[in-house]
Structure 1
Amino acid sequence: MAQFGLENDISNTLKLDVPITNAPIARWQRKASASNASAIGLSPGKSTNISLNASKTPGKTPAKTPGKWRTTPSKKMGEDRFIPIRNDKQMEVASFLLSKANRPKEDVSAATSDQKELSLLLNGCNLEEARILQFSGKPTVNPDGQHNAMKSLYSHTVTPMSNKKTRYIYSTVDKILDAPAVQNDFYLNLLDWNSRNVVAVALQNSVYLWDATRGDVVHLMTMENDADYVSSLSWTKDGSYLAVGTSDCAVQLWDVEREKCLRQVTSHSARVCSLSWNSHILSSGSRSGQIHHHDVRVAEHHIFTLRGHSQEVCGLQWSPDGHYLASGGNDNLVCIWPGVSQAPRADVDQSLRTLSLHKGAVKALAWCPWQPGILASGGGTTDCHIRIWNVNSGSCLSSLDTQSQVSALAFAPNYKELLSAHGFSHHNLVIWKYPTMTKIAELNGHEERVLNIAMSPDNSTVASLGADETIRIWKCFEVDPKKRPKNKTPRSAFTQSIR
């Protein structure tokens, strides 16, 4: 029994360490030998001395599942299959990588240690060369910074330039009109453009009308006393009537078509330098700091008085919906007043809100036409700021230092932008993108400060009145004809001709 056990151990040792030479040839070896013999022109029955170890490719290749083997199909005549030349170490590494890919995720640490150990045993074998059908996750880098034209052609990524929306702005003036003897006074409002495409301008003690459609000029009125002057202008919504404020504390109402003064309203004790219409209600602000509401339909026109400013009211604007009246004064305040229907028919001494962040006179006021309750205000030389307000909450949404006196503001609905006019020391107009307040363009041309601006009925053109005694027409908000909305209702001849 001892001898049989010893022989059995020796037999097992031989099976593990030494190949058995006198054992019968296995079936797969005979098949491989027959294939090699037919490839070199020998008959399968004849014996050869060809060694099976001469082939670099083994007869069996490892499958995806460890422990299972699949037979390499025999090579038929006429086939050409590429087999890479690999050394023994590369084959062992490839087998290791394939078995590692099928391991559970919890054995990743063990597989990593096995990989390190195998790499050390293989004395620096390149693992990348041993990978089989392995795709790299990162694209290769083009040498010397070469540009891949096909990648750019078939790329779906939108480039910044194609995504950027731009438009052309006419930064040069379209027309220049003479305005001799214009009052160089920051606090006055001497320019307005009505819905019938007619511009009204006050020159000293006279008022002139310029028809922007035909180019005709009409002398509307001249004050009787040469010492007096026109201090403010404001059109009604339909453009039929013009309110004229004067330095002798009066407000005149003119029928433009008949060129006739319908009535003269007197209630102030100082010059009237700001006017604003809300339907049949005319609001007027004077140097005394008071604001009067007038109902022009009745003989007793004066309804009540608003008292909130201690100095001259140089800015006055009703909101488009008529819910609020904004007033700006030389006392650096912006006051928000309720609509006439909401206020009692008595004098009001307290405004709804008082906005007091400006450090200079506030003449420039503009309501946003597409955002109710949003007001823009601009300060004078000691302030130079444009501020955007939410009048419902009284909060300042944004503030911008223009480094120049702000004399007028106007919103441009065609492109949702804000236009500002400046006095000392820039003497120009600036277009800002709303609400980011980034500067888009500057309109230069005036040699002295800009006093007032007015928008055309279609909001495409701006008229600016300067202390250099000129009125300059800027077509800076014209809409592309292809992008203009088609209106179902017909327009008047005045509106159609300005385009």
Structure 2
Amino acid sequence: MSHFGFENDIHSVLKLDMPITNAPMARWQRKASTSTSAHTGALSPSKSANRSLSLSKTPSKTPGKNGKTQSTPSNAGGDRFIPVRNAKQMDVASFLLSKENEPAEESTSAQANQQANQKAWSVTLNGYDLEEAKILHLGGKPLNAPEGYQNNLKVLYSQVPTPVSMKKSRYISSAPERILDAPELRNDFYLNLMDWGRQNLLAVALSEQVYLWDAAQGDITLLKKMEEENSYICSVSWSKDGNFLAIGTSTCKVELWDVQYQKRLRCMDSHTTRVSCLSWNDHVLSSGARSGLIHQHDVRVAEHHTCTLRGHTQEVCGLAWSPDGRYLASGGNDNTVNVWSGAQQTGVHCFTEHEGAVKALAWCPWQSSILATGGGTSDRHIRLWNVNSGSCITAWDTQSQVSSLVFAPNYKELVSGHGFAHDQVSIWKYPSLAKVTDLQGHEGRVLNLSLSPDGSTVASLSADETLRLWKCFEKDPSKKAKPAGASSSIIQQHIR
């Protein structure tokens, strides 16, 4: 039975509801015992209790030397310090107490909400989430930057193979390789005064004269000069083999010249107004005039005028045959683009989405059904069309007048010449139309663009009476000249 007694003693010791006998004496008891020991004589139990209670309180007044009482200072003589608490401190304490008593699930949800808010703030302030923009991110395979994205610092590491054209960084010089002087150039948006032939000869019309510049040798030849007073050249266009040059004049004539012998082969009269644009399709030569009519000429026969296409109400300022010869595209000052069937000589599509004159026309050389068009000052858009379906694939606002378009097959890019307000040459990715770069330097609007036979150089003719050659599309970038550091000398030469 002794072990039951021992267990009872252990339980009695561990109980917390019993009075503590071995605890230190309370403060008020110590003060009471000190005060009672200082007085002599016996006191009754009730009086000693009252005496101890009265002595436990701090007296508000203390006796002075002369028996009078004096006030106790507020900052000295007290037995404890009571801090001043304002409403804000009480709110903070209440929040801390409530936060400590929150369940673990609620705190987890609060942390998740806080992380979501921090991510939203990061995206709003920085444009992207900082957690996803680390230099080395080992959480998974990173993605490629979107096509045309120019800030290479955002995606620094990639495991996905890139296209062949993007493996090496491509350098595009901001300075032209050559500058040719073109005095007395006629500043007319609707004329087509330059074309680069397959024999590497560049034909340029300066007022009433036509000059040929040999890009390989640098020789300049005067091919034709107008004899009529106040007459001028309106358009030039090379045949596909580069042996014959067609010239349209302000005297409503279309002339055909043999370049090798520098001899005019024939003069074709059919228009009643100036001939603003020309385009070849084998032995068929198309000419567009200010009257809005398009004439088809078969240069092999005596009766050259075979057909008239009527679809424009104002001047036809752009003509282009597709690479396969199936379609002829025409653009006019009436803001319309017409697509004609080459075999049936009938209209296939009429696009009226442009809000300005359409002079810039270009067919894609690797996709013969894709047509690029550019609008004038009131439109400023580049549009890509699928002539098979008649739908607009892409439209992009360039914020500037579009005067000319050419495709660069070496890099599958589109080059555009601009007038008001930027007066520059721009290079775009196809088909996204993401800008690659701007070639600046002209002090007047760019009137015409032409691509070299090898596709490496684009020539721009401007109203500032200069012709600039930009070598931007070399096939082997490793063989190009050193970009920065080495001063690239600009070769200046006069066409005449």
* TM-score strictly above 0.5: yes
Alignment of 1:173 onto 2:169: no
1:161, distance to aligned residue in structure 2 (A) = 3.6
Aligned to 1:452: 448
Aligned to 1:248: 251
Aligned to 2:307: 304
* SS of structure 2 residue aligned to 1:237: coil
Deviations 1:298-318 (A, max 9, x none): 000000100000000000000
1:162, distance to aligned residue in structure 2 (A) = 5.2
1:210, distance to aligned residue in structure 2 (A) = 0.2
Alignment of 1:320-335 (within 5 A): 320-335=323-338
* Selected match of 1:406 from 397, 402, 408: 402
Name the CA shift for 1:402/1:256 in 2 (closer, same or farther; >3 Å): same
Deviations 1:302-343 (A, max 9, x none): 00100000000000000000000000000000000001x333
Which one has more relative contact order, counting CA pairs under 8 Å at least 6 apart?
A: 2
Does the 8 A contact of 1:335 with 1:352 survive in 2?
Answer: yes
Deviations 1:69-111 (A, max 9, x none): xxxxxxxxxxxxxxxxxxxxxxxxxxxxxxxxxxxxxxxxxxx
Aligned to 2:317: 314
1:209, distance to aligned residue in structure 2 (A) = 0.3
Deviations 1:206-249 (A, max 9, x none): 00000000000000010101310000000001100000000000
Alignment of 1:428 onto 2:418: no
Provide the aligned length of Structure 1 versus Structure 2: 330
2:395 and 2:268 mapped to 1: Cα distance? 38
Aligned to 1:472: 468
1:225 and 1:271 mapped to 2: Cα distance? 14
* Selected match of 2:235 from 227, 232, 237: 232
Deviations 1:349-376 (A, max 9, x none): xx21100000000000000111121000
Letter in 1 for 2:451: M
Alignment of 1:264-413 (within 5 A): 264-339=267-342, 341-343=343-345, 351-413=347-409
Does the 8 A contact of 1:327 with 1:335 survive in 2?
Answer: yes
Name the CA shift for 1:330/1:156 in 2 (closer, same or farther; >3 Å): closer
Which residues of structure 2 form unaligned runs of 5+?
A: 1-130, 145-154, 481-496
* Selected match of 1:207 from 207, 210, 216: 210
Name the CA shift for 1:158/1:216 in 2 (closer, same or farther; >3 Å): same
1:378 and 1:158 mapped to 2: Cα distance? 34
2:380 and 2:141 mapped to 1: Cα distance? 46
Letter in 2 for 1:450: V
2:326 and 2:142 mapped to 1: Cα distance? 48
Letter in 1 for 2:406: A
1:373 and 1:162 mapped to 2: Cα distance? 38
Name the CA shift for 1:152/1:312 in 2 (closer, same or farther; >3 Å): closer
Does the 8 A contact of 2:403 with 2:419 survive in 1?
Answer: yes
Aligned to 1:192: 195
Letter in 1 for 2:311: G
1:158, distance to aligned residue in structure 2 (A) = 8.0
Aligned to 1:84: none
Aligned to 2:226: 223
Name the CA shift for 1:284/1:483 in 2 (closer, same or farther; >3 Å): same
1:224 and 1:336 mapped to 2: Cα distance? 36
* SS of structure 2 residue aligned to 1:352: strand
* SS of structure 2 residue aligned to 1:186: coil
Alignment of 1:24-173 (within 5 A): 160-161=155-156, 163=158, 165=166, 166-173=169-176
Q: TM-score, normalized by length of structure 2?
A: 0.64
1:477 and 1:425 mapped to 2: Cα distance? 26
Name the CA shift for 1:272/1:197 in 2 (closer, same or farther; >3 Å): same
Aligned to 1:103: none
* SS of structure 2 residue aligned to 1:299: coil
Deviations 1:139-188 (A, max 9, x none): xxxxxx9xx99x989x9868844556241112211100010000100000
Name the CA shift for 1:447/1:482 in 2 (closer, same or farther; >3 Å): closer
Name the CA shift for 1:152/1:331 in 2 (closer, same or farther; >3 Å): closer
Q: TM-score, normalized by length of structure 1?
A: 0.64
1:437, distance to aligned residue in structure 2 (A) = 0.8
2:361 and 2:199 mapped to 1: Cα distance? 23
Which residues of structure 1 form unaligned runs of 5+?
A: 1-144, 485-499
Alignment of 1:260 onto 2:263: yes
Letter in 2 for 1:342: Q
Deviations 1:239-274 (A, max 9, x none): 000000000000000000100000000100100000
Identical residues among aligned pairs (%): 61
**Superposed structure 1 runs of 4+ greater than 4 Å apart:** 155-159, 481-484
Does the 8 A contact of 2:142 with 2:157 survive in 1?
Answer: no
Letter in 1 for 2:241: D
Does the 8 A contact of 1:315 with 1:364 survive in 2?
Answer: yes
Does the 8 A contact of 1:205 with 1:226 survive in 2?
Answer: no
Does the 8 A contact of 1:171 with 1:476 survive in 2?
Answer: no
Name the CA shift for 1:298/1:162 in 2 (closer, same or farther; >3 Å): farther
Does the 8 A contact of 1:199 with 1:212 survive in 2?
Answer: yes
Letter in 2 for 1:192: D
Deviations 1:415-450 (A, max 9, x none): 111100000110000001111111110000100000
Letter in 2 for 1:167: R
1:302 and 1:261 mapped to 2: Cα distance? 18
Letter in 2 for 1:223: M
